[in-house]
Chains A and B, each alone.
Chain A
Amino acid sequence: MDKFRELVGKAHSRRSFIAGAGAIGATSLILGCGGSTPKPTPIPTPAGITDADVLNFALNLEYLEAEFYLRAATGQGLSAADTGSSAGAVTGGSMVSFPTATLQQYAFEIAQDELNHVRFLRQALGSAAVSRPAIDLSNSFNGLAMAAGIGSTFNPFVDSNSFLVGAFVFEDVGVTAYHGAAGLLKDKNNLGAAAGIMAVEAYHAAEIRTLIVAGSIANPSAPYLDDANKVSALRATLGGGNETMLSATTIVAADSTNAIAFDRSTDQVLHIVYAARAGVATKGGFFPNGMNGTIKATAA
């Protein structure tokens, strides 16, 4: 049954774009699954959702990223002015000791970027903005490390290489989430903003992937590239494939047949951030009490 769904999913995803590409596209699809994980049927996001629902879904993810990067870069998370009136607690996260000024500069840049995304979305949503949900940056990474086969614990704040692996957990997911969301947005301005944030997440993703590969070249015996790929494999299991193994020849995460970035349904994204393999999940992983807003439960 899973195999059947996978095949249908491939056919479905290939049908995208213009029908004239059909025959060639289908062939290259079947032949071209080597470098990337296959793409099963995305479970459609519930009908009738509004732009505010989608932007709030994104806001939950931006809260998570902002808390991760801000705590790593500065030791402090979002201030009360940026989290809404009924913000949940944040567990874990501490300032990383970066060995070089350059790595510190990267961390400050991305932390500021994610803070700006939180502020932008909160402003765009106005009174409809959800508050920050409870966020776990400690047990989440430990559970992820165990599920991915990295070890029984993982602290992304312990040093800069671990920080990069922690960052790796998020960025490619952000790209796929915004890519998937683009088709759900009805207002052209919202679409333009979401596409622009997606591009920034892709800049970040490439930066993190490039730095992990460079670290591996400089020190081949270090485990971080291997750890990142274990994370990638876990994300593929939880989030419907949509992954490209990281190496010096595969910095970009994209469909190997056409070099188009993957997209994920909100359901697939929820499975990843809740660390939920199958079945209905409403919380877990990075969001111990679930997300806030209307899109917060997996369908199956």
Chain B
Amino acid sequence: MEINDKDKDMPRTETQIVDSIISNRRSLLRLGGSALAGLALAGIAKAQATISDTDILNFALNLEYLEAEYYTIATSGMTIDQLGVGITGTGTQGGVTIKNNSAASAIVPFATPAFQSYAQETAGEERKHVSFLRNALGMSAVAQPAVDLVNSFNGLAVAAGIGGSFDPFANEINFLLGSYVFEDVGVTAYHGAAGLITTPANLDAAAGILAVEAYHAGLIRTVLYGLDAANPSSGINATATKISQARAALDGTNNDDIGLGVVANSLGSASTVVNADANTIAFSRTTAQVLSIVYAGGTGSGGFFPAGLNGTIK
């Protein structure tokens, strides 16, 4: 058993090559110098030639495990496997780090029934994404890696400058802000992956999941923006904007994430519910950029994934 697991985890030559490309690209992107852009692009082209649809879908599956655990624990006090969603597979299976070491204690005390409904809907949809990807990948599906929902948010709070710690399960506002951390990243991750997928049916499914992540992001951002408008001294928009800035800093661009607030556009004073570029096209992130965010700047592991992702892209 242990020997088999070891065999499974042993990187193949091609994955080592991909890993090295990804790790080089990440350091290049961190440096951020335009002189290095050519090298980085060469890395992308090379990575595209090596990465299979299975690798991409497994990368997505890791992110869906994270989202599904977050929403499911927040709404039900149980982990996804306790609700019957499979988490076994290739790689190293890990548990979830939850506050007080108790999922039940992490149920969010929702004060607003509609917000609870939104959370329950989203939880169900993220579990369906996990199940869909697992079914699609079959025997190739990766196991759920270790997921950290405590130290990750605390570290992010420090990095974003929103405090020494952050408990997204403490109340419904914190929960919505915790959701904000994930959804726009999901959009950019699937958007970036779209160009890497080779099979039309896989592309269609990934595009459909991308749209659902964008629905979630639009839902969360609309609710947070409305709460801030109703109570401007709450600082909700400012906190969300700090999270966006932290994500943009972590992915090395500093310019691909729009926070919440009132901005002047060519027509008048406008909201920023949509997170998109100057052409109002949603941003896209490479797998390396997404990893940098979910690892909170770590290499190979950290942040939400203390033991790293499972699969070839990690």
Contacts and interface: CB of A to CB of B under 8 A. Distances in A.
Partners in one complex: yes
Interface of A: 15-18, 20-21, 24-25, 70, 73-74, 100-102, 104-106, 108-117, 119-120, 175, 179, 182-183, 188, 191-193, 195-200, 202-207, 209-211, 213-214, 217, 248-255, 257-263
A206 to B, nearest CB: 3
Contacts of A120: 279-281
B121 A182 contact: no
11 contacts: A16-B201, A70-B267, A73-B267, A114-B280, A115-B266, A116-B280, A183-B203, A199-B282, A202-B211, A251-B215, A261-B210
A205 B282 contact: no
B298 to A, nearest CB: 27
Contacts of A254: 125, 208, 211-212, 215
A191 B269 CA distance: 32
Contacts of A102: 225-226, 229, 271
Q: Say what secondary structure dominates the interface of chain B.
A: helix
A117 B280 CA distance: 7
A257 B121 CA distance: 13
Given A73-B267, A199-B187, A206-B215, A109 B210 contact: no
Contacts of A202: 210-212, 214-215, 218
Contacts of B136: 17-18, 20-21
Contacts of A114: 280
A259 B124 contact: yes
Contacts of A252: 121-122, 125, 212, 215-216, 219
Contact of A175 (B132, B202, B211, B213): B211
Given A249-B120, A261-B208, A203 B271 contact: no
10 closest residue pairs by CB, A with B: A206-B218, A202-B214, A261-B211, A196-B281, A199-B282, A260-B208, A203-B218, A20-B138, A259-B125, A259-B128
A249 B208 contact: no
B137 A18 contact: yes
Contact of A112 (B210, B280, B282): B280
Contact of A260 (B122, B205, B216, B217): B205
A15 B229 CA distance: 45
B125 to A, nearest CB: 4
B272 interface: yes
B101 interface: no
Contact of A259 (B129, B137, B217): B129
Contacts of A182: 194, 203-204, 207
Nearest to A210: B222
Contact of A198 (B122, B139, B211, B283): B211
A259 to B, nearest CB: 4
Contact of A21 (B124, B138, B212, B282): B138
Contacts of B16: none
